Chains A and B, each alone.
Chain A
């Protein structure tokens, strides 16, 4: 496996994107607004990639906000109660989310897709209820609690440092996903996704692989959740909201399900579109446009925006012949 091949246009594009990501604060200026948008965008790229990783195993989730929030709560409680630096507790947040993810996965691996979607959705509702009722003495209930920032604001240019930290984390995570998918695990996951019965016949036991996918996805989602909270500096149970479960789905589908680049492209395009429509003063129409885009892409471009160049090439070829 070669990390960089100058003759592969996809590699060139990726490297161009990377260079852009590193230079962008210098190009557009390191002001608060741009950095806020960029950091949130990166966090959602991580989140959407984690959600998308689950679909590689043929599973899906409608309640990933559960892991997003659990990661956030675990990491911030750890940071507040033990006074550990956020960068350390981040990992703890991920691990906690992964643990719960595997437990949920245990019930889910035997379920059909629709059931799985329901269980995950319901799980997010249950967790939020728990956090604000029975667990309120620890979690602060609806009031939430303040959390230290990823980089203390007393540092000069702390937001810039935060941006590069999140960028680095995002790159590492995507490289790990890339490695996993090209390894034998990735092949097994693909086999299970395409046809579980045949995979079984070929001697692959789907259960540990599906659990693994669930655990990894929950782990990375938990990290994304912790990052968001350490960025905001305050945690409230709104982190389990339904909209937070749906955004990674929208990003991944728009970009391209089951591709590594899909969630990245999807997050960038949809966020820019969203903020753009916002500054045009569109309110409800914004949601309608996103909804229509989603429906059109599912029907006409099932492999998402990343497949657009191929589709255009195909069309041109057809016209020529």
Chain B
């Protein structure tokens, strides 16, 4: 125990860890928003599906759960593509709030489908590295958290490379900057929509795997609150901006944990929204948001 510094840096570390989950959610939401200009409130259900898929693949195969990212990400990409095709494409360009309303329907469908198949009991799993501790200066940390943070960074770097270096990535960026322009340049925006939605869902799936591996419990209803916070993050960080999502995710992770540390755990959820409202009162377009469209 070397006093306050040790404690504060430990709280900061937990903030960093929970920030990782938020960053993956918010990046996906922002990618989708950038291209399609819609918000998927059912994004947390992809997180929830990710935890369940990881859990059952783990039970069946016994593989290292980090390897199971190879399973959860592609499965969620496929789920995302299907959801985009069936639910979001038909309402693109209709009423302003329709995508929020349709997300409500999707939330009910996903949560209860999972509950129907796998019951709504809480579940948890244990990582094979659970007992390994690493010494880092004043902190003694389980290896899992370091892996989780590294994996998140790797996913973000690969996403960056994908968006910068590949033709598909460039098409996504083009559609995100100017949808009509991209269409005129011969980009098949409908395909880009589907792909982007899939990638967004895949990122949520990865977050689901990391959630389960860290030993946190999950049930079919666990996704809604993290996703709503993910949405608060992209408003804070600026709609459509991926660096904004990363900074915002970290910020919310930190703020939440320091609030739990000072004000107590019951304010943990409320504080993100207080922050959001304060920011929006000062800047109605969000911290890094562009001015009116």
Tell me the A residues contacting B by CB distance below 8 Å. 55, 58, 60, 62, 107, 110-115, 117-119, 121-123, 125-126, 129-130, 132-133, 242, 246, 249-250, 253, 257, 284-288, 290-295, 298-299, 302
B166 within 8 A of A: no
- Which 9 pairs across A and B sit closest by C-beta, in order of nearness? A122-B273, A291-B108, A294-B105, A291-B109, A284-B112, A287-B112, A295-B105, A129-B270, A110-B284
Shortest Cβ distance from residue A60 to the other chain B in the assembled complex, whole angstroms: 4
- Which residues on the A side are within 8 Å of B115 (C-beta)? 284
B140 within 8 A of A: no
Q: Would B100 and A60 count as touching, CB distance under 8 A? A: yes
A110-B284, A122-B277, A242-B224 as given contacts; A291 in contact with B105, CB under 8 Å: yes
Q: Would A290 and B108 count as touching, CB distance under 8 A? A: yes
A115-B284, A129-B270 as given contacts; A288 in contact with B102, CB under 8 Å: no
The closest CB in chain A to the CB of B232 belongs to A118
Q: Would A298 and B276 count as touching, CB distance under 8 A? A: no
Docked CA distance A60–B115 (Å)? 30
Report which of B94, B96, B109, B272 forms a contact with A292, defined as CB distance below 8 A.
B109
- Which residues on the A side are within 8 Å of B116 (C-beta)? 284-285, 288
**Apart from the given pairs A130-B270, A242-B224, A288-B108, 7 other A-B contacts in the complex at a CB distance below 8 Å:** A114-B235, A119-B276, A119-B280, A129-B267, A133-B266, A291-B108, A293-B105
Tell me the B residues contacting A by CB distance below 8 Å. 39, 87, 90-91, 94-98, 100-102, 104-109, 111-113, 115-116, 120, 224, 228, 231-232, 235, 239, 264, 266-267, 269-270, 272-274, 276-277, 280-281, 284-286
- Which residues on the A side are within 8 Å of B111 (C-beta)? 287
- Which residues on the B side are within 8 Å of A294 (C-beta)? 101-102, 104-105, 108
Q: Would A292 and B105 count as touching, CB distance under 8 A? A: yes
Docked CA distance A55–B113 (Å)? 30
Docked CA distance A286–B107 (Å)? 13
Q: Would A129 and B269 count as touching, CB distance under 8 A? A: yes
Best-surrounded residue of A62, A288, A291 (most CB of chain B within 10 A)? A291
Shortest Cβ distance from residue A237 to the other chain B in the assembled complex, whole angstroms: 11
> How many CB-defined contacts (below 8 Å) exist between A and B?
123
The closest CB in chain B to the CB of A299 belongs to B90
A111-B280, A115-B235, A288-B113 as given contacts; A302 in contact with B87, CB under 8 Å: no
Shortest Cβ distance from residue A122 to the other chain B in the assembled complex, whole angstroms: 3
A60-B97, A284-B116, A302-B95 as given contacts; A107 in contact with B270, CB under 8 Å: no
- Which residues on the A side are within 8 Å of B97 (C-beta)? 55, 60, 113, 117
Shortest Cβ distance from residue B262 to the other chain A in the assembled complex, whole angstroms: 14
Shortest Cβ distance from residue B136 to the other chain A in the assembled complex, whole angstroms: 34
Shortest Cβ distance from residue A161 to the other chain B in the assembled complex, whole angstroms: 36
A122-B276, A129-B266, A284-B116 as given contacts; A113 in contact with B109, CB under 8 Å: no
- Which residues on the A side are within 8 Å of B96 (C-beta)? 58, 60, 113
The closest CB in chain B to the CB of A58 belongs to B96
- Which residues on the A side are within 8 Å of B39 (C-beta)? 114
Docked CA distance A110–B285 (Å)? 9
